[in-house]
Structure 1
Amino acid sequence: MNRIEDMLTTIELTHKVKILYACEAGSRAYGFATEDSDYDIRFIYVAPLNNYLSLWKKEDTITQQDDMYDIQGWDIKKALLLAGKSNPSLYEWMLSPIVYRELDFAMLSLKDTVLKDYSSKVLAFHYANMAKNNLQAWSKKNVASHLVHAVRASLMLEQVIHHEPVTLELEVLIKKSKTFTKEDLSHLFSLKTGEEITDKPHIPQLFTKVSTFIHAAEESLILLKEGTVNRNMLEDLFFQQLGIEGE
């Protein structure tokens, strides 16, 4: 944790920004990491005021990568604009169980609106497409990560459809699932780590289970709510972080 905190502090000093929130967004957040898993660190930051008043568009993303750390941050304006569109990545950042920098107090209403007012329809179509794309990739390449992502997307979709309290952790999602089982998760983890799977027919069965679930779920997606994200609140948050008043 100290290593990550040092990296975040270095980013702040180098780019002259303030990090408002930072979390884990990959397999570690899902509770599905192996010894070789890297860290997928995501954050939201605010830049100096003159960046937002400049005549020219400034960069709104900060990235830093090496073999162990994949770090990406969004400028507060970018994050809030995407919140207004029910962006799925931001949704997952707010759900992450691993937080490196707690959400700035003034930004707590962002998390509240993301988890309560987001468009279920946008999220559901995102996870349905993610599952289908990864199933296609698995069929062509037979790479374990594609089947992992297909199952994870299906579990997230199941959660969105049923309007249940949300989480990213796969074990919790499995316990709540009416489609997938703990045995499915166990086989999936063995596949990811390269272990020999004794029940070899189980993987094709899991593929079929995801395909069947997505096909059945698609009919209900159109009926999901569009969402009611309060854009005035998002703009107020933006002005507050810049230290200025709105209209």
Structure 2
Amino acid sequence: MRAMREAIIDELSRLERDENIRILYACESGSRAWGFPSRDSDYDVRFIYIRQPEWYLSIFDKRDVIERPISDQLDISGWDLRKTLNLYRKSNPPLLEWLQSPIQYAESLSAAEQLRAMSPLMFSPKSCMYHYLNMARGNYRMYLQGERVRIKKYFYVLRPVLACLWIERYGAMPPMAFDTLLEQLIPQDTELWRVIQELLVRKKSGEELDYEPQLKPINDYLEERLHELEMRAALQPAADAKLDDRLDAMFRETLREAWKQTNDEYE
């Protein structure tokens, strides 16, 4: 892990030089950040960056995403800060997850911390619940139908279902850690808890989890919850904070900070 972390930080530094950008924040997303990686899990690195002021002073639309599939094990991609802020206004769940990732590779200036501070105001229970519900439905339909199923995909349905339940119960963005969701939302003296824990141990140990017979306690639980959440999602409130002026000001200040600091280093 240490060697991979150093390789990731080196790659981020190379991106800054090659793309002439400033990386404001970089973190791990996906199974490693959720807490259930297997031995061969990919490193899914996500970052937020800002370009030179001149890049934004253009009449043309430009690509505001950088993607680098470095290897079979390492995938790096990032969003421009302006794109990031527009998605943030819409309570984008992947972005809100990145900001609370337990595995961080870089953070400079104050942009990420400001976004964390405003997140409770921008959080929309309705849009986030629909995001997780659609993820759960899609994975359930694709991987967990029939007598034999892609057994590792249980985690990719369980986690978004539990995220929906967290939003409904607490009215807040769910934590990234799968263990926290389990402990708070699944009774520990049940067969469901036991079966999930056994599967979790298998995945973390690196055991190959491919097609196996359905795990009925989990399937029954997911079918029941998905049906309930279909009705409950529409009842969730939307975000009502209007912070456009504040986000505009943050963008301009970050632009000044990022390139003033860089220029000062070379004076």
Length-normalised TM-score, structure 2: 0.82
Q: Which runs of 5+ in 2 are unaligned?
A: 258-267
Q: What residue number does 1:101 align with?
A: 106
Q: 1:134 aligns with which of 126, 132, 139?
A: 139
What amino acid is aligned across from residue 122 of structure 1 in structure 2? Answer: S
Residues 110 and 234 in structure 1, CA contact (< 8 A), matched pair in contact too: no
Cα 1:103–1:32 change in 2 (3 A) is farther
Q: 1:52 aligns with which of 50, 56, 66?
A: 56
Q: What residue number does 2:247 align with?
A: 234
Cα 1:152–1:185 change in 2 (3 A) is farther
Give me the CA root mean square deviation: 2.5
CA offset digits 1:192-217 (Å, max 9, x no partner): 8336999x66x132112111012122
The 2-side partners of 1:134 and 1:103 are apart by 36
My pick for the range that moved more, 212-221 or 57-66, is 212-221
Q: 1:147 aligns with which of 131, 146, 154?
A: 154
> Taking every aligned residue pair, what percent have the same amino acid on both sides?
30
Q: Does 1:156 align with 2:170?
A: no
Residues 23 and 107 in structure 2, CA contact (< 8 A), matched pair in contact too: no
Q: 1:175 aligns with which of 159, 179, 183?
A: 183
SS class of match (1:243):
helix
Q: What residue number does 1:208 align with?
A: 220
Deviation at 1:104, TM superposition (A): 3.0
Report the number of matched residues: 242
Q: 1:119 aligns with which of 121, 124, 131?
A: 124
What amino acid is aligned across from residue 127 of structure 2 in structure 1? Answer: V
Q: What residue number does 2:260 align with?
A: none
Deviation at 1:54, TM superposition (A): 1.6
Deviation at 1:219, TM superposition (A): 2.2
The 2-side partners of 1:29 and 1:103 are apart by 20
Q: Which runs of 5+ in 1 are unaligned?
A: none
Q: What residue number does 1:187 align with?
A: 199
The 1-side partners of 2:51 and 2:90 are apart by 22
Length-normalised TM-score, structure 1: 0.89
Deviation at 1:177, TM superposition (A): 0.8
